[in-house]
Amino acid sequence: MCRICKSFYIFSDFFCELSLFINWLIISAATLFCCHQFSVTGNNNRDRLALLDIKAKIPDDPLGVISSWNDSHHFCEWTGVICGRRHQRVTALHLNDSKLTGILSPHLGNLSFLQQISLQNNRFGGTIPQEISRLHRLVGKIPPTLGSLSRLRYLYLTRNKLTGDIPSSLGNLSSLLELHIAENNLVGRIPEWLGKLRNLTILVLEGNKFSGRVPPSIFNLSSLTHLSLARNDLEGELPSYLGNTLPRLRWFSIHNNLFTGHIPHSISNSSNLEFLDLSVNNLYGQVPSLHNLLRLSHFVLYNNSLGLNKAGDLNFVSSLPNATNLKWLQLSDNNFKGTFPRIICAFSSLTFLTLGNNNFAGEIPNCIMNLAKLQVFTVSNNRLAGVIPQGIGKLQNIISLHSKRNQFSGVIPPSIGNLTKLSSFSLPNNSIEGQIPATLGNCRSLIRLDLSNNKLNGTIPSQLFNLPSMSIILNLSGNHLTGSLPEEVGQLKNLDSLDVSHNMISGHIPSSLGSCESLEFLYMQENNFRGTIPGALKTLKGLLWLDLSHNNLEGDVPTGGVFNNATGVLITGNNRLCGGIPELKLPRCKLSRNTKKTRLEHREKLTIAILSVLFGVTLLVALLVSLYRLRKRERTKETTIYGVK
Ligand SMILES: *[C@@H]1O[C@H](CO)[C@@H](O)[C@H](O)[C@H]1NC(C)=O
Ligand SMILES: *[C@@H]1O[C@H](CO)[C@@H](O)[C@H](O)[C@H]1NC(C)=O
Ligand SMILES: *[C@@H]1O[C@H](CO)[C@@H](O)[C@H](O)[C@H]1NC(C)=O
Ligand SMILES: *[C@@H]1O[C@H](CO)[C@@H](O)[C@H](O)[C@H]1NC(C)=O
Ligand SMILES: *[C@@H]1O[C@H](CO)[C@@H](O)[C@H](O)[C@H]1NC(C)=O
Ligand SMILES: *[C@@H]1O[C@H](CO)[C@@H](O)[C@H](O)[C@H]1NC(C)=O
Ligand SMILES: *[C@@H]1O[C@H](CO)[C@@H](O)[C@H](O)[C@H]1NC(C)=O
């Protein structure tokens, strides 16, 4: 029923509805039109102002190309300006062969729909304004005409959206010293003729989509100091003579490609190499001796199939010269077999040492403590055994320490507490025993701690919870931990995930957990927790997963918060849980003894109250009645007296 029109009796209801509908249509259309018009005009004007500023920076225009740019016509009709048909924004600017003299206005960067710009054969001076870099639609191929710049020495085209291949005309740039075309979308093969540019010292083609084999001529460019082919789809083998034909090479990077075959023995003859990154390829076989690479600082081999999974695989490590320059040694995800090479302790500049996912066995020697600059040390998924060396506490700069799935035994050395920069520490799936050292509470930078699936026993030291930095995960699951979960756990205000499952933890679930505001995942299953589920848990707004199954919990399951999501709460295998939302299919809660008692108390109080009121009323009535009688008797007395009068 149309209420607004009710007062206008003339209209029947139907016409009333209709007229309102039409009005609504008109208003909506007008609004749409108006806003559209406004936005178009706004951006249009931006283009117009930009063009006028471009014009203002070009004082000399002998052919009268831009002098005709004025408001007597829409700017889309100005000479050399092309607009998109629909949105009326400038998409192309053709001012080539116009004998213009001036500078390029930075307002060029305001033509945000510009896809093409041609300015050749003019007399522009000054610099190309950096605002042009805002024009993300200006893409295309590398212009073949660049090849005519026969004296060009440096060409930087990195980080654009260039497509297509490298035009063959660039083969004419015989003076070129540096060619940087990293981070584009170039495709096709790397051209053979690049090998003709004999003066090239730097060739950076990384981060494109080049495919196929690298032409051998590239590896013949003997002046090269930097060759980066990383992050493409290149395949084939590295030529055996590589190190002999590229003697000046300091930087060689081919990571994230499809290269196969061996690392050529000649690599050691490229004695200037500082950065050698062959990671994430399909290289295999033995790593050759590297005895000449005195300057090597980054040696990165991870994610290949290197090593033959037999003794001798690690000889190359000993071949590394005393290597005071070696900072990165990354050998993870290969087939290296052998004991932890003691010589590594002599690489005193080492900051990054990753050995994970290989077949390393034996112990980590205590001399590891000599690596005072070490920041990242990972040995996960090997067969390393023995104890964690006490000397580890001397690695003052360590940030990340990972040894997942090895066979380490013994205790976590208390000296670990000296590592104040340690932010990620994981030792899951070993055979670590003893107590969790309370000194871990001194590692003020810890954001992640994973000690799961070991043989740790004793109670959880409350110091562990006094680490506000702890934010990603605290995982102590799958140990033999006893005692209760300390109330201090509530101090972990930034923690996402807490896992104490599969232990022998007893006592009540601390209601202080309600203060762990960031918790998303809470695993407490398979312990001996008893008592009721604290209602405080429902205040955790971000909690997605709560597993309390297989404990000795009893009583009322709260409702609200995570408890309202039957798929996010696991509570099976407890004693006498009841209530909760119906989806949990728990029995309804009988009145607990406590509740009964209170109810009883209430009833008693009520009875007493009623009785006392009744008593009071009876008393009052009795009083009134006797008063009345008294009065009456006195009055009769008086009458008799008066009567006597
Ligand atoms: C504006 O440009 C038109 C050509 O587009 C030209 O005929 C006219 O003279 C110009 N007006 C002024 C004031 O320059
Ligand atoms: C146009 O570009 C200039 C120079 O970058 C800038 O100062 C100006 O604010 C821009 N104008 C608009 C309307 O964006
Ligand atoms: C390279 O330069 C030569 C001679 O300067 C010229 O004839 C040839 O066309 C150029 N090649 C390309 C592809 O531009
Ligand atoms: C590399 O250079 C050597 C000697 O300069 C030459 O014999 C060989 O043909 C070149 N190979 C390629 C593929 O250009
Ligand atoms: C390394 O260079 C030396 C000297 O030029 C040469 O004798 C040796 O054969 C080269 N090694 C390899 C593996 O090519
Ligand atoms: C390595 O060090 C030892 C002794 O510290 C020295 O005799 C040897 O020459 C050094 N080797 C290299 C390649 O620097
Ligand atoms: C390292 O920790 C141990 C045990 O916690 C302590 O005795 C030692 O003094 C500490 N060393 C340094 C260098 O801080």
pLDDT tens sequence across 436-471? 999 999 999 999 999 999 999 999 999 999 999 999
Q: Is the pLDDT of residue 33 over 60?
A: no
- Compute the Cα dihedral for 526, 528, 532, 538 and give only its sign: negative
pLDDT for res 336: 98
Around 249, how many Cα atoms within 13 Å sit in the side-chain half-sphere?
30
pLDDT confidence of residue 323: 65
Q: How crowded is the C-beta side of 303, counted as CA atoms within 13 Å?
A: 11
Cβ-based neighbours of 584, under 8 Å, separated by 6 or more: 557, 566, 569, 571
Ligand 3 atom nearest residue 144's Cα: 14
Kindly list the structural domains of the chain, giving each domain's residue range(s) and its CATH number in brackets, ordered by start.
Answer: 26-131 (3.80.10.10)
The CA 265 to ligand 5 mean position distance, Å, reads 9
CA 314–ligand 6 middle distance (angstroms) = 19
| C-alpha–C-alpha distance, residues 155 and 177, integer Å | 8
What value, to the nearest 5°, has the Cα angle with vertex 413 and ends 409 and 416? 130
SS3 track for 498-532: EECCCCCCEEECCHHHHHCCCCCEEECCCCEEEEC
For residue 415, which atom of ligand 7 is closest to its CA?
A: 2
Q: How far apart are alpha carbons 490 and 547 in whole angstroms?
A: 18
Distance CA 218, CA 303 (A): 25
pLDDT given at position 39: 41
Taking a C-beta distance cutoff of 8 angstroms, is the pair 567, 542 a contact?
no
Q: How far apart are CA 140 and CA 142, in angstroms?
A: 7
Mean pLDDT score of the chain, rounded to an integer? 88
* Single-letter amino acid code for the residue at 315: N
Residue 581 in contact with residue 562, Cβ under 8 Å? Answer: no
Give the Cα separation of 519 and 561 in Å (integer). 12
The sheet with strand 116-118 has its strands ordered as 81-83, 90-94, 116-118
| Gap between the Cα atoms of 317 and 362, Å rounded | 16
Tokens 């429902």 correspond to 538
DSSP state for residue 460 in the 8-state scheme: P
10 Å Cβ neighbour count for 271?
17
Mean pLDDT, residues 613-626: 74
Please check whether residue 237 is in contact with residue 216, taking contact to mean a CB–CB distance below 8 angstroms.
no
Question: Which ligand is nearest the CA of 419, by number?
Answer: 7
- Burial group, residue 371, by CB count within 10 angstroms (0-12, 13-18, 19+): buried
Per DSSP, what are the bridge partners of residue 426? 402, 450
- DSSP summary character for residue 269: G
Is the pLDDT at 639 greater than 50? The verdict is no
CA 71 to ligand 1 centroid distance, Å: 8
Which two structure tokens, joined as six digits, stand for 309?
């999974």
- Average pLDDT of span 337-349: 94
- Residue 395 pLDDT greater than 50, yes or no: yes
Q: Determine the pLDDT at residue 17.
A: 38
Q: Which of 57, 89, 105, 107 to mutate to test the pocket of ligand 2 (most atoms within 8 A of CB)?
A: 107
| Cα–Cα distance measured from residue 584 to residue 485, given in angstroms and rounded to the nearest whole number | 26
Confidence label for 636 from pLDDT (cuts 50, 70 and 90): low
Ligand 4 centre distance from Cα of residue 67 (Å) = 57
Mean pLDDT is lowest, of 122-126, 507-511, 636-640, for 636-640
216 in contact with ligand 4, CB cutoff 6 A: yes
Span from the CA of 415 to the centroid of ligand 7 (angstroms):
5
CA atoms within 13 A on the CB side of 324: 0
**What confidence score (pLDDT) does residue 160 get?**
81
Q: Which has more confidence, 544 or 609?
A: 544
- Please give the pLDDT value at position 40: 44
For residue 471, give the nearest of 535, 412, 542 by alpha carbon. 542
> Alpha carbon 378 to chain centroid distance?
20
Q: Which of 146, 168, 169 to mutate to test the pocket of ligand 3 (most atoms within 8 A of CB)?
A: 169
Is residue 533 within 8 A of residue 557, CB to CB? The reply is: yes
Which residue's alpha carbon is nearest to atom 14 within ligand 3? 169
pLDDT tier at 626, thresholds 50, 70, 90: confident
Cβ of 215 below 6 Å from ligand 4: no
> What separation in Å is there between the alpha carbon of 475 and the centre of ligand 7?
25
Average pLDDT over residues 161-181: 92
Backbone angles phi, psi at 372, to 5 degrees: -65, -15
Q: Give the largest Cα separation in the chain, rounded.
A: 157
Ligand 3 centroid to Cα of residue 140, in Å, is 22
Q: Is the pLDDT at 311 greater than 50, yes or no?
A: yes
The residue whose two tokens read 């654009």 is 160
Which of the pair, 614 or 485, is modelled with greater confidence?
Answer: 485
Q: Name all residues whose Cβ lies below 6 A of ligand 2.
A: 46, 50, 106-107, 109-110, 131
Distance CA 144, CA 482 (A): 74
Does 147 contact ligand 4 (Cβ within 6 A)? no
For residue 53, the CA-to-ligand 2 centroid distance in Å is 10
- Of the two residues 628 and 28, the one the predictor is more confident about is 628
Q: What pLDDT shows up at residue 3?
A: 38
Residue 638 is inside which H or E element, if any?
helix 593-644
Read off the pLDDT band of 179 (50, 70, 90). very high
Rounded mean pLDDT, 178-194: 95
- Kindly write down the DSSP assignment for every residue of 71-121, as one continuous string: TTS-GGGSTTEEE-TTT--EEEEE-TTS--EEE--GGGGG-TT--EEE--S
Separation of alpha carbons 222 and 220, rounded Å: 6
The β-bridge partners of 94 are 118
Q: Which two tokens stand for residue 383?
A: 């067969």
CB within 6 Å of ligand 6 — which residues?
321-322
Q: Which atom of ligand 2 is nearest to the CA of 131?
A: 5
Q: What is the DSSP string of 121-149?
A: SSEEES---GGGGG-TT---BPPGGGGG-
What pLDDT is stored for residue 7 in this prediction? 33
The atom of ligand 6 lying closest to the CA of 321 is 13
Burial status of residue 358 (CB atoms within 10 A of its CB: 0-12, 13-18, 19 or more): buried
Q: How far is the CA of 391 from the centre of ligand 7 (A)?
A: 10
Give the closest ligand to the alpha carbon of residue 149: 3
Q: For strands 569-570 and 552-557, give the pairing.
A: unpaired
Ligand 2: centre distance to CA 106 (Å) = 8
Q: Give yes or no for residue 641 having a pLDDT over 70.
A: no
**Residue 474: what residue type?**
L
CB neighbours of residue 553 within 10 Å: 22
